[in-house]
Amino acid sequence: MGLFEKLSNELIDIIEWLDDSRHTLVWRFPRYHNEIKNGAQLIVRPGQMAVFVHRGQIADVFEPGSYTLTADNLPILSTLQGWKYGFNSPFRSEVYFVSTRQVTDLKWGTPNPIMLRDPDFGPIRLRAFGTYALKATDPKALLQELVGTDQELETDEITELMRAMIVSSMADLLGKEQIAALDLASNYRGLSESLRKHVAEQIDDEYGLDIPQLIIVNISLPEEVEKALDTRSSMGVIGDMNTFQQYQMGKAMTAAAENPSGGGAAEGMGLGMGFAMANKMVQQPGIGGGAFGAAPPPPPPIVQWHIYANGKQQGPVPFDKLAGAIQSGNLEKSAHVWTAGMEGWAPAGEVPALAAYFSNQAPPPPPPPGT
């Protein structure tokens, strides 16, 4: 300290704090050797309190106002220094100014996700963040617990402590309330107030601080869970997937038809999508194959026939081959046949199912030309 500054400090008899920052909680008035003159002026502005500290002991506290320092308004300090009939100038004492206004726009957030058991999703991880305001309510507790011998105390020095307390209280609150993750957004206001009260109870008596405001801005799910919820919401908006697919195929067919540059490829694509769309429609209830889209019945069993001609037995052969042999003239009416349901062997010409094929035999080949 230079000689001029030292002399200036000794001549100054006004003690005040002109705060030009918004995040300073406590500031110590600088005075050479902490010497204060008899009759000095103390100015405490709105949103401030002044605390006199003598040899580590907190003495008198002044609220906003203007004071002339004498033994009358420094009763505790007078007792500590043994002033019986006033004091001679100067006397030594540290003067701390404490800001009692709200320090706003402070941030908090969860550095790590909070693990919870959700009734809809099971075990999940949640992150949360928000803002809060801080205010000093008890200068003595604040000086004893947080300031010590520091020149000043900024909010940055206690934000880590505040964040830890808020996050810890947030985890306890969410576990106690057991609100479903999808219902948290509608409960932000109530959760914010409960969280504020919980934290305020911890810091009021111990640190002389209060949280006038605490706001939960957002509680978020992990990114992969949010993507799954978006997919689920999209499916809910679409509704019937089959109808949506038909709509998409119809749009694609219209686009292909309106694109003359597509050529045969576009026509083929449109034809393929047309078949796919028709197949989708046939598969729908009440359209295409039967009432309510029922599956067709199984095909009838193949009837097998046995043949006895020229002393030899042949078969079994299906009916279509038997009919073909009759039409081609390879099987005569006198040949005996039998199939399931007949009492015994019978000539083929006398079997009602085969008689018609003998009358419709193929004609003989035409005569050669020129005859």
- The predicted-structure confidence for 322-351, as pLDDT tens digits, reads as follows 788 887 778 888 888 888 878 888 888 888
Yes or no: say if 69 and 95 are a contact pair by the CB < 8 Å rule: no
Span of 76-80, 97-101, 267-271, 306-310 with lowest mean pLDDT: 267-271
> How far apart are the C-alpha atoms of 324 and 328, rounded to whole Å?
6
Confidence bin at 217 (pLDDT 50/70/90): very high
Confidence bin at 8 (pLDDT 50/70/90): very low
Superfamily for 103-225? Band 7 domain (3.30.479.30)
Distances (CA, A) of 65 to 48, 49, 50, 70, 94: 9, 9, 10, 15, 19
pLDDT of residue 89: 66
Percent of the chain with pLDDT over 90: 27
Please indicate whether residue 156 or residue 91 has the higher confidence score (pLDDT): 156
- The predicted-structure confidence for 145-196, as pLDDT tens digits, reads as follows 888 878 889 998 999 999 999 999 999 999 898 888 888 889 999 999 999 9
Is it the case that residue 290 has pLDDT exceeding 50?
A: no
pLDDT of residue 65: 94
Count of other CB atoms within 10 angstroms of residue 247: 12
Mean pLDDT of 303-317: 84
Count of other CB atoms within 10 angstroms of residue 98: 26
Per-residue DSSP letter, 12: -
pLDDT of residue 367: 72
- The predicted-structure confidence for 259-281, as pLDDT tens digits, reads as follows 655 555 555 555 555 555 556 55
Count of other CB atoms within 10 angstroms of residue 356: 10
CATH class of 304-359: alpha beta
What mean pLDDT value characterizes the chain? 79
Of 329, 331, 336, residue with least CA distance to 351? 336
- The predicted-structure confidence for 126-143, as pLDDT tens digits, reads as follows 999 999 999 999 999 999
> How far apart are the C-alpha atoms of 243 and 120, rounded to whole Å?
29
Domain-wise residue ranges, the chain? 3-99, 103-225, 239-279, 304-359
Alpha helices in 216-240 (DSSP H): 223-238
Please indicate whether residue 237 or residue 249 has the higher confidence score (pLDDT): 249
Of 71, 72, 90, residue with least CA distance to 31? 90
pLDDT of residue 321: 84
> How far apart are the C-alpha atoms of 184 and 225, rounded to whole Å?
15
> How far apart are the C-alpha atoms of 157 and 237, rounded to whole Å?
50
pLDDT of residue 236: 66
Asked whether the domain spanning 304-359 has the same topology as the one spanning 103-225, the reply is no
Collapsing DSSP to helix, strand or coil, 64 comes out as: coil
> How far apart are the C-alpha atoms of 135 and 131, rounded to whole Å?
14
Instruction: Report yes or no on whether pTM surpasses 0.75.
Output: no
Residue type, 252: A
pLDDT of residue 82: 67
Percent of the chain with pLDDT over 70: 74
- Judging by beta carbons within 10 Å of its beta carbon (0-12, 13-18, 19+), is residue 216 exposed, middle or buried? buried
Phi-psi category of residue 168: left, alpha or beta, with phi > 0 → left and psi -120 to 50 → alpha: alpha
Radius of gyration (C-alpha) of the chain in whole angstroms: 50
Detail the DSSP E strand segments found in 251-364: 304-309, 312-318, 336-339, 346-347
- The predicted-structure confidence for 33-85, as pLDDT tens digits, reads as follows 667 887 889 999 999 999 998 888 888 899 999 998 887 778 777 777 766 65
